[in-house]
Chains A and B, each alone.
Chain A
Amino acid sequence: MEPLLTIGSLTVTAFSVGACLAAFAGCLLLMALTRQTGLDSSVALTAMPLTIGLGVLCGHALYALTRVLIYPLDYERPLAFIFNPALGGFMALGVFAGAWLACLLTASIHHVSIRRLWAALLPALLLVVALIRFCEPLSLLGKGPGVEGGFFPFSYAPEPEYPDDRYVPEFFYAGVYTLCLSVMAARSLSGKRGQKRSALFYFVLYLSGQMFFEVFRQDEYVNATSLITFIRLNQLFAAILLGIIFVAACVRCRTPGKARLILTRSAVLAVSVGACVGLQFFFKKPLPFFGQTVWFANWLVYSLLALTAAGMGWAVLSVLRRCPEKAIR
């Protein structure tokens, strides 16, 4: 893909312009939401540069770390990309981690509640992630499998010269989902209930959404096919984070019948994760079934995968719901 502008060794692409505009939109939303959460605008002003800087840094660091850890055995690549984000990529979960660090720093600088600031920051972050997802085709990313028979709405042709080669728009589905979460998280700030757990609630929904939407994704971006053939790295990280949140919630949960609650939700979580992994083997493969060879329709596998993602989210959220208000930050 041709760069829009080259200044020396620096390159500006349509995708980077989109990412920049998305970050700008996130800044505007953050300004509005800090006021809504009763924080001073100076808090937002501090949070913005810190979030941009640490978000880019951590997003790239996580990407570089995974590439270095996973690919060195079989993929020689100049290591310059580690120290130059322009040569490498980003992972959204790294951006969230950077934003969390920025939140901690800002809160300590201004002596404000971390929970309150994170509640304002998360919708803005989700907005940025959603808008960048919409920009992904500019970077040849976010492409799902080829459409055969028109089951998927909004299919698109990434290469104009081949209008008949249509693909599932994974970037669009994930972008719309993340945008909805951003809107809901922002709206929930006006309600008393939302301020209690809104950020973590919507973050868990984001993670379980990742578990599902990544299934569609076909591009090779941070795809650990050389190490793990049945799951993408984003799914793996999302599953790990869901597990950590679940364990933390279980430890701090104080409710009658806690043991039973944890047992049932753990079972649901384990079955959902297992099914999510197992179902990936059902695509385009014949499977023995009582002596017969059967092919599972893709729509059925996708539907079951959506159920597993929902199961994961429900298991975590149902434990979180029973935690004391200040137990989880």
Chain B
Amino acid sequence: MKRTLIIALTVILLLSMLVLVPSEVSLAEVVPIPLDQAKMNDVNPSFYLSETEYQDPSLHITMERGEWYAPFRSESNKYRDHSQGETVRTNYWVIRIEIADASQLRTGLAHNGKGRENDKWWASHVNPVLAINGDGFGDNFNGYGRHIVRQGKVIKHNAAANNDGFDGFDALIIDDAGDFHIIRRATEADFAAFEGSVINCFSFGPALIVDGEIVPDMTENLRYRKMYGGEIEARRVCIAQTGPLSYMIVQSDGPDDPDHTGLWIQDFAELVQSLGDVKCAYNLDGGSSVRVLFNGKSIDSPYPNTKSQKRTNADMIFFASAWQE
């Protein structure tokens, strides 16, 4: 009898192992992030492989620093490098991102679009792995943007937007599959005709690359060109799609940063195109608004006392982990 009981106990314990030993990793998986989740889950810090790389089963980010020599544009440019011919040097970051689920490419607003916040706030309230500034949402809220959508929510739709004398801004729509759709000089009819599911829509630009080709006439409209500072040497940042759920961010330094110049928009587009198989690329808010946060820290400028390091941001585009342990 005692022997039978012990055997029964052993069998019960063995069977209990079926549910006691599933292993946390076996249950870990890529879980799409709800559209309305504002703060991202913490990630295992060991996924940050280095100062320039993050990898978990749902998200891979690599960052590289490079130099770009753009055509010499200004006689007064003190950074002109004669050894490189008629060119000036600008350093840049190229960040390549691969995600497992479209929900990992997200946008965030500071105080529902009614305020601006610094890096610390974005890191603690949104908790992204990587974040970049958006299209200057706050500046466009009451201004020129015709159609602004964030995380599936229409923030602004103004059919009769005052575009100050020209047809419209270039729009970037990100759909529910994480694919980019660029609409040049987007009109009300263009937005109405779009058949996909709009998760995020940006309304400023301009578009730099469409269908792999640099947009030829991005500086054709004088007022638009002046608004985004197309022909000044400035800090710039853009987001590009390189494939399904694969993206690239390029951020170039500007005159805020000691020993650096900046790029005209045309030169910036050429830099972006040179960095890989870019399907489409869209310019974001530049100048001192440029911000790149990685692991909660700003990496966009190595010079913490520059103007850009002190400016706050109204909206951010960010990448989050969908890996749940």
Contact = CB atoms under 8 A, between A and B. Distances in A.
Contacts of A10: 19
Interface residues of A, number: 45
Interface string A100-129: 000000000000000000000000000000
B14 A27 contact: yes
Interface residues of B, number: 28
A24 B14 contact: yes
Nearest to B19: A10
A10 B18 CA distance: 9
A164 interface: no
Contact of A141 (B18, B20, B25): B25
Interface of B is mostly: helix
Contact of A20 (B3, B6, B21): B21
Interface string A72-93: 0011110001000111111000
Interface stretch (A45-53, A182-190, A191-199, A270-278): A45-53
Contacts of B47: 220
Contacts of B6: 45-46, 48-49
Contacts of B44: 75, 220
B13 interface: yes
Nearest to A48: B10
Interface string A179-220: 000000000000000000000000000000000000000011
B14 A23 contact: yes
Contacts of B26: 1, 3, 13-16, 138-140
A42 B19 CA distance: 28
Contacts of A23: 14, 17
B83 interface: no
Contacts of B155: none
Contacts of B9: 49
B17 A52 contact: yes
B42 interface: yes
B24 interface: yes
A294 interface: no
Interface stretch (A221-229, A235-243, A249-257, A303-311): A221-229
A56 B24 CA distance: 14
B45 interface: yes
A45 B19 contact: no
B29 interface: yes
Q: Nearest 4 CB-CB pairs, A to B? A: A139-B26, A225-B46, A10-B19, A52-B13
21 contacts: A11-B22, A11-B27, A13-B22, A13-B23, A14-B26, A15-B26, A16-B21, A19-B21, A45-B6, A46-B6, A48-B6, A49-B13, A52-B13, A53-B13, A86-B20, A87-B24, A88-B24, A89-B23, A89-B24, A140-B25, A225-B46
Interface of A: 1, 3, 7, 10-17, 19-20, 23-24, 27, 42, 45-46, 48-49, 52-53, 56, 74-77, 81, 85-90, 138-141, 219-221, 223, 225-226
Interface of B: 3, 6-7, 9-10, 13-15, 17-29, 42, 44-47, 57, 325
